[in-house]
Amino acid sequence: MIWTGKKVLVTGADGFIGSHLVERLVREGADVTAFVLYNSFSSWGWLDNVAADVKGKFEVFLGDIRDPNGVRVAMRGSDTVFHLAALIAIPFSYNSPDTYINTNIHGTLNVIQAARDFGVRRVMQTSTSEVYGTAQYVPIDEKHPVHGQSPYSASKIGSDQMAISFHRSFELPLVVVRPFNTYGPRQSARAVIPTVITQALAGFRQVKLGSLHPTRDFSYVSDTVSGFLELAVCDDAIGEVINLGSNFEISIGDTARLIAEVSGHQIEIIEDEQRLRPATSEVERLFACTQKMKSLTDWEPKYAGLEGFRKGIEETVNWFSVPENRARYRSDQYNI
């Protein structure tokens, strides 16, 4: 396999998608450095709980993406950089927008400046479908206008544009990967699917959510990771923005009802006022066009359509059903 022996840096490796990406890269034979956020407990986030066949087979670098020196130390000698480190919670971005600028934009600048200086073969910049805002047309292709509807999405637009500018200005070999609403085991408690699952499994009869009518294109985490790996070796993807999605949209309310059905719990879904976004900040509809991805690679989502979504929900519910996994979540409080 082409990853065997390749030195790879994954920023945000302690997070949801990052930890799954580290596992996959290790299994593919890569020499992985996992950049995780420094903390006084020396916690590696979700990397503390990786699969047994992966444990001990990667290097961990404790640092802060906002620190250019630490980024450079971690990156030295890397062939490929997967940049996932970011603040991603939308509600928290209303409270603390400065932290999103410092982490998402300045952090990205640190990564791409170091990558340029070191002559890295490929930088994979992680974007988000939130940059599109409410769909002006569907399916949303890469030519759709970006429209910041929260400080978070604005910071990701800035991050993407900074990355793209380094490709255009300095020929940095960079790809912007734009996943649509990735879900699965280890996802943050601030996301809707873990919110529903943890409340249902905790025995709550009433499950509290924000707006129920918006639609999303949910992508199972293994499909997202496969997309990253495909694009990282596709030369024709350099300088491009590329969507990853499941070609399927479903409302938040219907998602909650599907989770209840799969988990075997009867729940009443309550629209909780404190969980609602400001009216003009809510993204009403996201539905991906993935034709560009499919034209460049052999990638196909394995969890596509309603059947694939149900399968992904089943696997996610099964993971959360393990008490040791669920113990890290606080289902009785609103996580912003």
Residue 332 or 317, more confident: 317
Residue 269 or 178, more confident: 178
Q: Does any domain span residue 259?
A: no
pLDDT digits (tens, 9 = 90+) for 95-111: 999 999 999 999 999 99
- Residue 237: CB partners within 8 Å, gap ≥ 6? 175, 231, 296, 297
Strand pairing category for 122-126 and 80-83: parallel
Q: Does any domain span residue 314?
A: no
Instruction: Find the Cα–Cα–Cα–Cα dihedral 51, 122, 187, 49, rounded to 10°.
Output: 20
Radius of gyration of the chain (CA): 19
Percent of the chain at pLDDT exceeding 70: 99
Q: What is the average pLDDT across 168-194? A: 96
Q: Does any domain span residue 213?
A: no
Q: What is the average pLDDT across 186-202? A: 92
Collapsing DSSP to helix, strand or coil, 72 comes out as helix
**What's the DSSP call for residue 41?**
T
Q: What is the average pLDDT across 229-244? A: 98
Q: Does any domain span residue 80?
A: yes
Q: Strand 241-244's sheet: what is its strand order?
A: 59-63, 31-37, 7-11, 80-83, 122-126, 174-179, 241-244
- In this predicted structure, the answer to whether residue 10 has a pLDDT above a threshold of 70 is yes
Other C-beta atoms within 10 Å of 55: how many?
13
Task: Give the predicted TM-score (pTM) of the model.
Answer: 0.96
Q: Does any domain span residue 235?
A: yes
Please give the pLDDT value at position 1.
61
Q: Does any domain span residue 278?
A: no
Rounded to whole angstroms, the Cα distance separating 149 from 261 reads 32
Other C-beta atoms within 10 Å of 191: how many?
17
From 21, 2, 8, select the one nearest 80 (Cα to Cα): 8
Other C-beta atoms within 10 Å of 243: how many?
26
Angle at CA of residue 23, ends 35 and 243, nearest 5°: 80
User: Domain holding 116: CATH number?
Assistant: 3.40.50.720
CA 266 to chain CA centroid, Å, is 30
CA 271 to chain CA centroid, Å, is 25
Residue 331 or 209, more confident: 209
Please give the pLDDT value at position 308.
97
Rounded to whole angstroms, the Cα distance separating 111 from 291 reads 29
10 Å CB burial of residue 45 (0-12, 13-18, 19+) is buried
Range of the domain at 55: 7-184+219-246+288-304
How many domains is the chain built from?
Answer: 1
Q: Does any domain span residue 274?
A: no
pLDDT digits (tens, 9 = 90+) for 38-51: 999 999 999 999 99
Q: Does any domain span residue 322?
A: no
pLDDT digits (tens, 9 = 90+) for 16-34: 999 999 999 999 999 999 9
From 72, 159, 66, select the one nearest 107 (Cα to Cα): 66
Please give the pLDDT value at position 207.
83
Please give the pLDDT value at position 240.
98
